[in-house]
């Protein structure tokens, strides 16, 4: 049996195909690239237009035929309503036409499960830093619990907004990383850790209002916000007594963030793990794999319960597949 995983919480349409051992046979991503900020309806139209050709391409890349598909998993939330609804509609249609079970997956949890599949970590604290999401998550008492999160925008959105106002095209993160490497001069930006939570909008405003040279601003944005994430991740490690950190989300492709987390974990006698790049960002394979482990543990999402959940909380899901 093969599993199809469908991702569409934001700008990326992802379609992945795996076997039951977790071997990824295809993992295609088609990303809507906005000139301005992400427009949910336009992103949803992009996903609708790309869905059928991308599915065909994935099936042919995986070297299977449609009738080999035994399970359809889709990201049920959290995310942008129009995007979620478009991909959920496609998921229902696919599952019904193939007459196979459907499983709705929490997107944030999929970032953890794909890390557990593809790295040596088993019970990590996840630092999930993406465009729309920023959370520190760990498994305790039957749930993946959120130990800390952003109180306003996701760190990736902050970087992309800063880039947009400064003529850097989306996604700005990689360009900011390059510019940051050319500086060593730390500008004072508001470091905002509140308890276990973080916030980025004040830093964004301060950076946008600053007259400092661009490379110094990029360097300082990274140093300040990555230190905040590393601090909260360290506190979650201390609190849970866990020894592993897993990195997930597009922003963890950043080498400086990885370096900071690695230094922190080494100092604590813990270890940091990251899945290969394409599995850090939003992708269909992670949804497919999570849907499969959920289904093996008895979960299924009947069509009448497959409505999307825009604010789907990580700790709403009963983690039946872990002890
Ligand atoms: P995701 O939402 O997980 O698909 O990731 C997309 C986000 O990751 C965007 O906000 C990008 O700007 C950001 N991103 C990608 N590569 C990097 C990088 N090297 N450094 C910082 N941010 C990055
Ligand atoms: Mg994501």
pLDDT band at 305; cut points 50, 70, 90: very high
Query: Once rounded to an integer, what is the mean pLDDT over residues 243-269?
Result: 97
List CB-based neighbours of ion ligand 2 within 5 Å: 130, 282
Q: Is 254 in the pocket of ligand 1 (CB under 6 A)?
A: yes
Pocket test for ligand 1, best of 250, 260, 275 (most atoms within 8 A of CB): 250
* Average per-residue pLDDT for the chain: 97
pLDDT digits (tens, 9 = 90+) for 18-73: 999 999 999 999 999 877 777 999 999 999 999 999 999 999 999 999 999 999 99
Q: Is 161 in the pocket of ligand 1 (CB under 6 A)?
A: no
**pLDDT score for 310:** 97
Specify the domain boundaries for CATH 3.30.420.40 within the chain. 2-111+279-316, 122-274
Q: Which fold has domain 2-111+279-316?
A: Nucleotidyltransferase; domain 5 (3.30.420)
**pLDDT score for 125:** 98
Measured from the Cα of 255, ligand 1's closest atom is 19
Tally of residues, the chain: 323
Q: Is 14 in the pocket of ligand 1 (CB under 6 A)?
A: no
Query: Cα of 61 to ligand 1 centre, how many Å?
Result: 26
Q: Is 171 in the pocket of ligand 1 (CB under 6 A)?
A: yes
Percent residues over pLDDT 90 in the chain: 97
Measured from the Cα of 154, ligand 1's closest atom is 10
Measured from the Cα of 159, ligand 1's closest atom is 12
Query: Once rounded to an integer, what is the mean pLDDT over residues 77-101?
Result: 98
Measured from the Cα of 129, ligand 1's closest atom is 3
Query: Cα of 254 to ligand 1 centre, how many Å?
Result: 8
pLDDT band at 323; cut points 50, 70, 90: confident
Q: Which fold has domain 122-274?
A: Nucleotidyltransferase; domain 5 (3.30.420)
Q: Is 156 in the pocket of ligand 1 (CB under 6 A)?
A: yes
Query: Once rounded to an integer, what is the mean pLDDT over residues 134-143?
Result: 96
pTM of the model: 0.95
Query: Cα of 153 to ligand 2 centre, how many Å?
Result: 14
**pLDDT score for 255:** 97
Query: Cα of 211 to ligand 2 centre, how many Å?
Result: 33
Query: Once rounded to an integer, what is the mean pLDDT over residues 126-148?
Result: 96
Calculate the alpha carbon distances from 36 to 33, 49, 153, 171 in Å. 9, 20, 16, 11
**pLDDT score for 34:** 79
pLDDT band at 278; cut points 50, 70, 90: very high
Query: Cα of 156 to ligand 1 centre, how many Å?
Result: 5
**pLDDT score for 269:** 97
Query: Cα of 310 to ligand 2 centre, how many Å?
Result: 14
């Amino acid at each position: 049996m093969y599993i199809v995983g469908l991702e569409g919480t934001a700008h990326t349409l992802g379609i992945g195909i795996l076997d039951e051992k977790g071997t990824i046979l295809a993992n295609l991503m088609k990303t809507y690239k906005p000139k301005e900020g992400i427009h949910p309806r336009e992103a949803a139209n992009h996903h609708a237009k790309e869905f059928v050709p991308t599915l065909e391409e994935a099936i042919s890349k995986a070297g299977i035929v449609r009738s080999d598909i035994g399970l359809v998993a889709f990201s049920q939330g959290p995310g942008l309503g129009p995007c979620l609804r478009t991909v959920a509609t496609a998921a229902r249609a696919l599952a019904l036409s193939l007459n196979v079970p459907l499983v709705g997956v929490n997107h944030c949890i999929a970032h953890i499960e794909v890390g557990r599949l593809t790295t040596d970590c088993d019970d990590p604290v996840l630092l999930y830093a993406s465009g729309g999401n920023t959370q520190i998550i760990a498994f305790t008492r039957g749930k993946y619990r959120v130990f800390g999160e952003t109180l306003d925008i996701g760190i990736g959105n902050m970087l992309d907004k800063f880039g947009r106002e400064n003529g850097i095209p989306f996604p700005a993160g990689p360009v900011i990383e390059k510019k940051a490497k050319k500086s060593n001069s730390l500008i004072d930006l508001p470091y905002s850790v509140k308890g276990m939570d973080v916030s980025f909008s004040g830093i964004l405003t301060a950076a946008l209002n600053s007259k400092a040279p661009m490379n110094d601003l990029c360097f300082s944005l990274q140093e300040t916000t990555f230190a905040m994430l590393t601090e909260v991740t360290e506190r979650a490690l201390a609190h849970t007594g866990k020894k592993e950190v897993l990195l997930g989300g597009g922003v963890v492709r950043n080498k400086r963030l990885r370096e900071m987390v690695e230094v922190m974990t080494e100092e604590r006698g813990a270890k940091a793990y990251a899945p290969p790049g394409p599995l850090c960002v939003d992708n269909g394979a992670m949804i497919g794999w999570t849907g499969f482990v959920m289904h093996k543990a008895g979960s299924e999402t009947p069509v009448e319960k497959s409505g999307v959940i825009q604010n789907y909380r990580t700790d709403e899901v009963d983690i039946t597949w872990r002890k």
